[in-house]
Structures are given as C-alpha cells and as structure tokens.
Structure 1
C-alpha cells in the first residue's frame, strides 16, 4: 500500500492523547539528536501517530509493544487500514519510524529487550567468541568469519539439539569441508575454512576434549602466499592522487584526511575509522593507534600533511557532535563514527576522481611500504612502521626492493658478466 492516504495534513493528535503520549517528547528529541532532516522528522512523527491510533484501537498496553506487534501492524493492519482521518501509510517510512520508537521505549525501560531464541549451538558460539576475544585477541571480523563457519558445522551435525563433540568424527569434518569448498574456490579462502575449524577444535582441546584427530582431519591446500607482487601506485600515480586532493565539494575535506591517513601513515581502514580526538597530540605531533589488529597501542609521528588535512576537516567540515571520533557521519543518523566500509568507499572514490583504475584501499598501505624501501629503509623498519607482528608478513615487500634484488640477481645466460 502506498501513500494514498498520506498528506501534509496527516493527523498527529493521537500522539498527544493516545497511549504513547508520555513518550512523544523523548521520541522527538531522539530524532533531533540523530540529525534527521525536517521531512524525515515529520514522516516519523506521522508514522508513529498512525501506529498510536491502531494501538489505542487494539487496547494494547505500551509495555506489550515489540517487534511482533510492529509486524502485525505492518503486515495485517496496513494493507486494509480504515483508520479515521488522513494517516501515514508508507510502509517503508512506518517500518523505519517504528524501529526508532522501539529504541526510545527500550532506552526508557518501558519495553523489554528483544527476546532472543537461543539453541545449544548459539550458546556454544557465544562461549567460543569470548575465547577468541579474550584469550586469542582476534579482531571482530576474524571472529565473525570463524563463527559463521563453525556455526554451519555444528548446525549441520546437531541442528537445534545438544552438542556432543565426541559425535563429530573426522569423516564428518572432511565432508563438511568438501561442501564448503564449493563456496570457497580460491586456495586462500579454502584455507580460511580449515583455519576456522582447527581453531575451534583447539578451543575444545583446551577444555579437555579428545579432538586431536579432528584437528588433522583436513590439510591446507597449496597456497603460495608470496608468489605474486603486491600492487602499488607508481610515483606518477601518487602525484596524481595527491594533486586531486583539496577539491571543493561535499565531504571532500573528510575524504582528503582519510586518504592522507592511508597514504602517509599506512593505516588500515578500521584503524582510520577508530581514530579519536583524544588520540592526536597536536603539540607533540603524534597519533596513538588503539585497538589495532595486533591489540597494541602504537604511537606514530603525525606528518605535517596528514595533520593539516585532519585539522582542515575538523575546522571547516566536521559537524557538531558529542562523539569523540575524528571521522563522523555527515548524514543521519549523525553523532555516529564512520565505519571501515565508508573508509574503503572514500578511497575508491578518490581513485575514481583521479582516473586511476584501482579499487582496493590496501593499495595505499602497499605503496607506503614500497616508498620506504625505495628510500633505503630495511624490511625490519618497514615491519615496524606497518606494525606487523611477524616479520614474515613483511617479507612479500622484499620483491619490491629493486636495490637488493640487483645485488642477488644472476647474469642472464650468454650476457657479459
């Protein structure tokens, strides 16, 4: 059902007299704090007014409102709505507005948190995630990947029933891997499945389970990690990218600062997104990286060009917000930090504006490593700047060190020595 019964004269008096009246001011303040435009604000108010009229007609107590009640309103009532007076009937607007309403009601303690149906597999995954987080210190993305894979294994073996780790045999693991291999065609991705399974079985071994036969049930496929050269920007392409910075436009100062963080400091997307105002020491000219991939705090010198780009963004473009993140959202809901995906999107857009045929944000990190090597830095120094926990991770950049490669290259057969 569309907007046929909506208009700018939609009734909102149900908000003042209906069951949601005590919570209207908090709802409006929430929308204001999120920074929604006037049109969106008005649509949300009209949507909740329609919902309030329906709740009153059903004689529902506010405490009973939850996702089930909202779904009943959207799926059963809305297609055959006969509410009195003009009412807002756009399903998309209604769904979004009622989602915000639930947030407000739960923040006030009026409505109980959503009930989550848990199975033994869910409980097992929760325990395993705590282990990966607190014992192994794995990043959230790594944990999510492992939980998806292990969850599929456990669900395929036990469904909603209790977990009996002794009931998993090596043949079960091999068959599961064969099924998953169809989804992961590249050797590196297939290795991710094996790594996730072995990590889980090691966790069970730490609990005293006899699972050593399961750990070796599948082997890693051949995957020559150092077989290819890391892609980097040429010196000319770096100049092109630098020359494209400073253009006027919406969110361009934020884009310039993000590109500078990736290009000058070699920061990962997640590290850029997590930079806080408290992490920058302007007097000392340093930036502190917290909650990094290696779970360490690293203090790096802040290059002048990077600091100037961040300062310009903070002074001229960053919206007023109570959030301490340096890079925040420019569209509603405001007052929120950006995420790694927006960092990657920003860098892709910077490549596109420059006319460079690249899409991966990690390219700037590789480029920085190449520039360090070209400037005479050792692999150990590159590893320190990129904050690699293992020097083996940095070895791939040895292929880019043309000065060292000349020293070890053999003469071409038949040529002068």
Structure 2
C-alpha cells in the first residue's frame, strides 16, 4: 500500500525505523526551504531507506550520528546506483533531526587550544567589544597575530613581555615575501594594532608597534580599473528580464552601477532598508556605518519588479535571495561577485576585471568626468578618508592633458 509523505512525495510502503515518525516534518522543512519536487523526493526516499537500515542494524535514535550515514552509504552503494546528492541529503536529515531535538548533538573531542590562539582570541574580543570593528576586519587581523605568536612562542606559554623589536622585524621579513603587497600591508597594520593592544594591557612596556617595518609601496601606483559606461550598458542590456533570475540580476547590477555599492552592501541589503515613500535606501557600510542614499527611479523600478515577480517566498528579510535551494540570502559578498563574473562571461564583455568593485570605480570616473569634486565622489562612495578618493585623480586623463606644457621642440 502506498504511503503519502507529502503532496509531492509518495512511498511504496509506510516508513519504518527510528526516524519514520519525523519524515513528514522533514519533508515540510525541505519544501519551505525551496527545494524542487525532484530533490525533495530524492531526499525523503533515501531518508526512509536510512531509517529502515537503522532499524535493521539496531541503532536507536539517541545513538545516530554522521558515522552511521557514512556506513549506510557504503551499504547502499553495494545494492543501488549511488546518487550525487545522497550524502548531502543524509546530512540535511541529521541536521534537521538535531535541530528538532530528536537526535542529541554529537559530542566532539575537546581540543587543547594552544596558548597563542587563546591570546589571539582575547585580542579579537577586544577589537569586537572595545573597538567595535567589523567582523571582516577582525577575521583579517587575527590570523596574522596567531602567526606572530606561533613564530615567537611556538605551542608554549605566551609571554608578551619577552617580545623584542628584533622578533617583530624577523617575523615580518620571514612572512612578507610570501604575501601579495596588499596582504603584506594588511599584516603590518594588524601587527601594529595588536602590539598597541598589548601595551594598553600592560603586557608590553616598549612601543613595539613602532618597530613593525613599513612595506614599501608607491602611493597611488595603480590606476583604478573601471568598467566603462558603454560596457555597463551592454551588460545591462544582455540580462533577460523575462525570468525571475534575470530580474534579480538586473536589479543587483543596477545597484552596483548607479549607486556604486560594495558587493557586501548589496548582499546584506534588507527589505526594511528601502523607504519607498521617501525614495531612499539605507546602506550598511564598513565598520557598521549606516548611510541614507537616494534611490534612483530606474533602480527602484528594477527592485520592485524583482520583489513582485521574481523573489521566491521566504521568511528571510534579505532583498536578494539565492536562486537555488536552500532559498536564503547570499552568504556574503562572494555571491554577488560570482553573479557579476557569470553575467560578464555570458555577455562576452572584456571588462577590466571580473569583480563587482569595478562598478564603483566606473561610477567615480564618470562623476569626475562630469565635473564632480573629490569630496562629492567620496560622499557617494562612503569614503571616510579623503585620501581614499584621491586615487581617482589619476584617471582623469583629459583634465590632466589641459595642464600639460607644450613640447619645446614643437610637434614632430
């Protein structure tokens, strides 16, 4: 006799085993997360087979763990052609059962945390609580600090009072050659921050931050690589706005091109950030700073089109959602960067880069050519340091030519 689990999933017989009573709620959870009917069928069927195998092998609910899923997949492979999504399906099942309290959380062996990591973690908490730095900045700084402490103290006790300038210099000389220039500069910034923190705590009496070597770098050495206005028009015209994904991608690309937002600012944009009456959008920038920006009519129209005829049903408050299950917001800036890369490749556009940041450079370049001041550009782009905006002076070639003196020898 057939047994209906969900309106889209029917089994040949009633499920058995320790997880049988929970398959309906599992199916509902899968459906709510936006998985396709085919994916749902596959996940429920292997879940039912797994539950039966658990019964046959005498495994109780309280003992179920990921190891049982691995052993079952080996058993299944000897009798049925393996499916690519089998392992992920069982992982989803076990995670769901744990979230529901059906399966107890698996105990993991306690790892001895090295003293260097303990010290670095205390520094991370200081940056988060006392300095209110963004998590992304903390995640950049802490690994460099861990490397320094391991370099100086190994796995032994960390005694910051024993640090000397020669230790700092030798570490930078050892580590910097293997890093890209920007990473090397980030490392020295992180080390100075940590050493100032150590002195603030009283663990270090000397100003070791001053001993951190400066990484050689020419100021404004490179011209920002900006996508041209014509390339932006071509890219936007190539998006198929008849599809839900196309409407989403078009709205995202317009936000990048017209407002110069960072990829993370687009990825984490929420429904409550848009004030439709006032025609404004609230942008969450670096270090938690928040700024109100005018919402151009074409951008607002594109976002509205996606929300009305493209955005999947979801409890998420994010404006832009993933196109594939699980239907949630982008995990981070990389999702927007990937969208830009694929859109450029599909359109066959030979852009300066494949990333999202070129739209910020493109907007700044266009504003500069139209006569906008550097302060106006910095305000639009959310630059806190005026020096950050100065780099765009190197792209205004036409304006620079008007300042060039004539060649003494005349035209040849």
Q: Provide TM-score, normalisation by structure 2.
A: 0.85
| Map of 2:303 onto structure 1 | 310
| Map of 2:388 onto structure 1 | 393
Which residue of 91, 97, 100 corresponds with 2:89? 97
Looking at structure 1, the residues matched to 243 and 157 of structure 2 have their Cα atoms a distance apart, in angstroms, of 57
| Map of 2:5 onto structure 1 | none
Contact 1:46 1:87 in 2 (8 A): no
Pick which of 272-281 and 109-118 moved more: 109-118
| Map of 1:332 onto structure 2 | 325
| Map of 2:194 onto structure 1 | 200
Looking at structure 1, the residues matched to 403 and 287 of structure 2 have their Cα atoms a distance apart, in angstroms, of 33
Looking at structure 1, the residues matched to 135 and 165 of structure 2 have their Cα atoms a distance apart, in angstroms, of 29
Contact 1:257 1:306 in 2 (8 A): yes
CA pair 103-88 structure 1, distance change in 2 beyond 3 A: farther
Structure 2: where are the runs of 5+ without partners? 1-8
Cα offset for 1:12? Answer: 7.4
Q: Pairwise mapping of residues 5-404 of structure 1 onto structure 2 (< 5 A)?
A: 13=14, 16-57=15-56, 59-65=58-64, 69-71=65-67, 73-74=69-70, 78-79=73-74, 81=75, 90=82, 93-110=85-102, 111-112=104-105, 115=108, 117=111, 119=113, 120-158=115-153, 160-184=155-179, 186-210=180-204, 212=206, 214-245=208-239, 247-249=241-243, 251-290=245-284, 292-337=285-330, 339-358=332-351, 359-402=354-397
Instruction: Specify the SS of the correspondent of 1:298.
Output: strand
Structure 1: where are the runs of 5+ without partners? 1-7
Instruction: Specify the SS of the correspondent of 1:198.
Output: helix
Cα offset for 1:254? Answer: 1.0
Contact 1:12 1:49 in 2 (8 A): no
Instruction: Specify the SS of the correspondent of 2:288.
Output: coil
Pick which of 268-277 and 34-43 moved more: 34-43
Contact 1:174 1:218 in 2 (8 A): yes
CA pair 338-354 structure 1, distance change in 2 beyond 3 A: same
Contact 2:236 2:250 in 1 (8 A): no
Instruction: Specify the SS of the correspondent of 1:39.
Output: helix
Deviation string 1:60-93 (CA, Å, 9 cap, x unpaired) is 442343xxx313541x5644x389xx97673853
Which residue of 392, 405, 412 corresponds with 2:407? 412
Cα offset for 1:350? Answer: 2.9
Instruction: Specify the SS of the correspondent of 1:251.
Output: helix
CA pair 44-303 structure 1, distance change in 2 beyond 3 A: same
Cα offset for 1:131? Answer: 2.2
Instruction: Specify the SS of the correspondent of 2:323.
Output: coil
Contact 1:47 1:93 in 2 (8 A): no
CA pair 199-348 structure 1, distance change in 2 beyond 3 A: same
Cα offset for 1:157? Answer: 4.5
Deviation string 1:275-316 (CA, Å, 9 cap, x unpaired) is 1111111121111112x1142211100111111111111122
Cα offset for 1:267? Answer: 0.2
Looking at structure 2, the residues matched to 255 and 9 of structure 1 have their Cα atoms a distance apart, in angstroms, of 36
Contact 1:382 1:394 in 2 (8 A): yes
| Map of 2:3 onto structure 1 | none
CA pair 211-44 structure 1, distance change in 2 beyond 3 A: farther
Looking at structure 1, the residues matched to 148 and 359 of structure 2 have their Cα atoms a distance apart, in angstroms, of 37
Contact 1:128 1:203 in 2 (8 A): yes
Deviation string 1:84-120 (CA, Å, 9 cap, x unpaired) is xx97673853431232133223322342376463514
Looking at structure 1, the residues matched to 215 and 100 of structure 2 have their Cα atoms a distance apart, in angstroms, of 53
Cα offset for 1:273? Answer: 0.6
Cα offset for 1:128? Answer: 2.5
Looking at structure 1, the residues matched to 271 and 76 of structure 2 have their Cα atoms a distance apart, in angstroms, of 52
Aligned length: 398
